[in-house]
Structure 1
Amino acid sequence: MTGFIAVLRGKRLAFVHGFALAVGLALALSATVPSSAQETVPSTGTITMDGRGTVTVAPDMAVITTNVATTGKTAADALSENSAAIAKVIDAIKGAGIEAKDIQTRGFGIYPRYERITDGSNRQPNITGYEVRNGVEVNIRDIAKLGDILSLVVDSGANSVDGIRFDVSDPAEKLDEARKKAVEAARHKAEIFASAAGVELGEIVSITETGTQVPRPQMMRASAMMAASPESVPIEAGEETIGANVTIMWALK
């Protein structure tokens, strides 16, 4: 009996010792877990604002497209006459100091001309002749020459000017300036809203460019060109607007 009691006491001591060891190990492991993993970090709010920046700049070059249209009984006749006429126009443009690299053919085509049917029949109309159109696009890098060249192309045989486009030869620098202004505008609005709400702007979460604005073509009617006097055509280039739009999201502190 005494031996049996001794065995039971031995098992109880072993159980107590094992339990204490397990509890101690669990406490040790819990002490090594970072406090950040045991706590829930509250999420921060965000604020998103759009901004637009613009820069005005005077164009320093112009692009015109001028054309010659001729007609003839045959396609060969119309083409021959047109080729001679457009060659005269190109020679005049080069004589004004425009380099060959700034002159490029545009809109060449040969088109049949049909009779007008007035008897009410359904027959196919006959070809009465041909029209040939040929034009050149001219880059004028000295904008002060634009008025003189417009008069010159008309005087040399061009019978239409499809349009004038004023350009900035190197708009990249101005566009970057507009982008900076767009970011400043977005931040300015965000700071106003944040101050009114009693919070502060934190780190930027995202920046997205949502659009840019570059100079657009300005068209001139051919009839206005044909009515021009032999003197230089008066031209006002005005100013062009280069712009950028941006959307920025901030975290709130």
Structure 2
Amino acid sequence: MKENNKKKNIVVIILSVLLVITLIIGGYWFYKMKTSKTITVSGTAEVQITNQISSYSVTVEKHDKDKSKAVEAATLGSQTVVDAAKSFGIEPKDILTQSLNVYQREDPYYENGVTKYKSGDWYASYTVDITLRDLTKSDELTAALVKVENSTMWGPNLRVDDQAINEAEILSKAIEDAKNKAEKLAIGSGKKLGEVISIVETGSYNSYPMLKTMDSAGGAGGSGFSVEPGSTTVSKSVTVTFRLK
């Protein structure tokens, strides 16, 4: 009996010691966490990338007293645009037909000094989006597209090829920018910069050129429009938290 009690006492002592050690270690780490200092800063980086892609939107509009005839004419007109693009060498994946719009115009007239409205012609329009991946051929493509009657062309919408954007490199530069800021702040507070605790990407921005309008009924005279590619600004932002030592 005495031997059993002795063993039980030893077990209790061991468990008590382990509990005390656990409490001491836990308290130490809790104290370290409470007293540790961190600093959170933002970093940004941007690069200029030459545009490689241009897109154009061609809208064909037709009207007729008969609704079905207006829609049929607009459909044929949009097909003319598609055929012109394909004949030029644009791949089907870079041609998108969309935005069918059909409405009946209300024509104003005066009666006894009062403005009234009566139903007029039906109008139908179709829009075709075309992507050009060789900017040196812009003048040739637009020359072919402006020949389509009763159409309006928007473009060029210049942009970079996504595959040309090295996102990892831009993010690395943004993180380096954050680190440089953090080091200056740490030195100013009499501390040293420690390890990174967290990194969060907070923003991504691409700055594109503005669109222009090219009307086939305007002064183009059937000639095309050349394009200066320019560049797109690609920027990324991060928020980084460092530990201070």
1:50: how far off?
0.5
Contact 1:86/1:158 (<8 A) preserved? no
For 1:165, the equivalent position in structure 2 comes to 157
Give me the TM-score of the superposition, normalised by structure 1: 0.79
| Range 164-173 or range 34-43, more displaced | 34-43
Question: Aligned partners of 1:224 and 1:153: how far apart in 2?
Answer: 8
Q: Which structure is higher in strand share?
A: 2
For 2:64, the equivalent position in structure 1 comes to 72
Give the unaligned 5+ runs of structure 2: 1-8
Aligned-CA RMSD value: 2.8
Total equivalences in the alignment:
228
For 2:87, the equivalent position in structure 1 comes to 95
1:158: how far off?
5.4
Distance 1:31 1:118, change over 3 A: closer
Is 1:179 the counterpart of 2:171? The answer is yes
Give me the TM-score of the superposition, normalised by structure 2: 0.81
Give the unaligned 5+ runs of structure 1: 1-21
Report the AA paired with residue 36 of structure 2. Answer: T
Distance 1:31 1:215, change over 3 A: closer
Question: Secondary structure at 2:51's aligned position in 1?
Answer: coil
Distance 1:70 1:135, change over 3 A: same
Is 1:109 the counterpart of 2:101? The answer is yes
Contact 2:152/2:216 (<8 A) preserved? no
Alignment of 1:73-222 (within 5 A): 73-119=65-111, 120-121=113-114, 125-157=117-149, 159-171=151-163, 173-216=165-208, 218-222=210-214
Distance 1:37 1:168, change over 3 A: closer
Question: Secondary structure at 2:35's aligned position in 1?
Answer: coil
Question: Aligned partners of 2:35 and 2:110: how far apart in 1?
Answer: 81
1:90: how far off?
1.8
Over alpha carbons, which structure has the higher Rg?
1
Question: Aligned partners of 2:96 and 2:219: how far apart in 1?
Answer: 25
Distance 1:31 1:249, change over 3 A: closer
